[in-house]
């Protein structure tokens, strides 16, 4: 089955899998997109379902702008892994059975690199093996493409999920831009962000962020439109909606706006949301993205969750509520998230 789908890869050309040490250059340079007037798109129509009460069984094909929502990872074999922050949120809400079945992590990766992992030996491809093994027990398969869109691997994995379990959901993260869009390469590898420094993020204005958000969401040939369109092709082949967009990029940009406005307790500057020039998240950003995933996966508001509150930080409880509100608004604002609801006033 996997081999049959693998033959389709010849349509796209041969790409070799990246190593785990690949330089991370995730996501689209959204800042380069010009603002246009947002309009509703028939192509972005989505089904709306009730909240999901059953814990989800998950397989992840991921990179470092997303892997942190899953089980903890350590090179030290003496360290016992924990189920991770998304699992903690699910447990708090009584989602019995939540489990990450497998994680295939490739730094700076595209879905096509995940598809090619193992260089043709699918027994060495964690994601493909896990999908085949899970079969009808799988609930969610996740992907996190970066700058290239449409992306060949999304279709290949989509067809594999249709064959292994057409009732599973495919959830695809739209990530924030590495190097704030200043990278000299549009995707992984290459020269990265050149001399871009993390503190350069502090010069980004609210108007800049509004422009980035408008560019992602607007009708036309922009990233989210292209992502939705590609996913709708998979839905058409499946005969129903099985794909969903997880709008982490929108949430992160809106968090930066809140920092600029002085509304995020304990975070004074945008650069404090990132660990390095690439854009790896600090705790606040990582928690925000985890709330986005919880909202999209379980189709309910994360507001009120306490699992990620740091009791040793006097700012944490207020900050986590604000992050939860931003996450909820981002997900209900995404027409292909599968979640419908009323946006809330952030900070209320």
Give per-residue pLDDT as tens, 212-233. Answer: 998 887 766 788 999 999 999 9
Fold of 2-7+17-32+45-247: Rossmann fold (3.40.50)
Give per-residue pLDDT as tens, 113-151. Answer: 999 999 999 999 999 999 999 999 999 999 999 888 999
Give per-residue pLDDT as tens, 281-309. Answer: 999 999 999 999 999 999 999 999 999 99
Residue 182, H or E segment: none
Contact partners, residue 7, CB within 8 Å, separation at least 6:
none
Domain spans, the chain:
2-7+17-32+45-247
> 151-173 as b/e, with b when 16 or more CB fall inside 10 Å?
bbbbbbbbbbbbebbeebbbbbb
| Phi, psi dihedrals of residue 244, rounded to the nearest 5° | -145, 145
Query: Whole-angstrom Cα distance, residue 16 to residue 46?
Result: 34
| Phi, psi dihedrals of residue 224, rounded to the nearest 5° | -65, -35
| Secondary structure (3-state) at 184 | coil
Check: CB of residue 101 under 8 Å from CB of residue 58. yes
pTM metric for this prediction: 0.86
């Amino acid at each position: 089955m996997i081999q049959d789908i693998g033959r389709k890869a010849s349509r796209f050309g041969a790409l070799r899998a990246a190593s785990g040490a690949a330089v991370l250059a995730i996501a689209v340079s959204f800042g380069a997109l010009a603002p246009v007037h947002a309009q509703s798109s028939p192509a972005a129509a989505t089904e709306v379902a009730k909240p999901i009460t059953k814990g989800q069984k998950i397989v992840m094909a991921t990179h470092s702008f997303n892997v942190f929502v899953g089980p903890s990872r350590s090179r030290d074999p003496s360290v016992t892994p924990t189920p991770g922050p998304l699992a903690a949120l699910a447990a708090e809400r009584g989602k019995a059975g939540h489990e990450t079945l497998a994680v295939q992590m490739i730094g700076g990766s595209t879905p096509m690199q995940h598809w090619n992992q193992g260089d043709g030996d699918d027994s060495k491809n964690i994601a493909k093996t896990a999908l085949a093994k899970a079969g009808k027990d799988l609930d969610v398969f996740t992907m996190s493409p970066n700058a290239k869109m449409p992306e060949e691997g999304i279709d290949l994995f989509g067809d594999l999920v249709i064959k292994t379990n057409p009732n599973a959901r495919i959830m695809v993260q739209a990530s924030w831009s590495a190097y704030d869009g200043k990278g000299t390469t549009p995707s992984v590898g290459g020269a990265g962000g050149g001399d871009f420094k993390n503190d350069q993020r502090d010069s980004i204005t609210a108007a800049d962020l509004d422009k980035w958000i408008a560019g992602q969401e607007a009708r036309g040939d922009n990233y989210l439109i292209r992502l939705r369109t590609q996913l709708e092709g998979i839905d058409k082949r499946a005969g129903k909606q099985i794909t969903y967009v997880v709008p982490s990029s929108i949430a992160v940009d809106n968090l930066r706006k809140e920092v600029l406005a002085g509304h995020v307790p304990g975070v004074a500057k945008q650069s404090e949301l990132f660990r390095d020039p690439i854009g790896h998240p600090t705790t606040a950003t990582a928690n925000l993205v985890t709330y986005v995933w919880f909202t999209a996966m379980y189709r309910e508001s994360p507001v009120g969750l306490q699992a990620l509150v740091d009791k040793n930080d006097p700012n944490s409880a207020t900050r986590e509520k604000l992050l939860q509100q931003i996450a909820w608004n981002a997900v209900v604002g995404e027409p292909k998230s599968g979640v419908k609801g009323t946006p809330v006033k952030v900070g209320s």
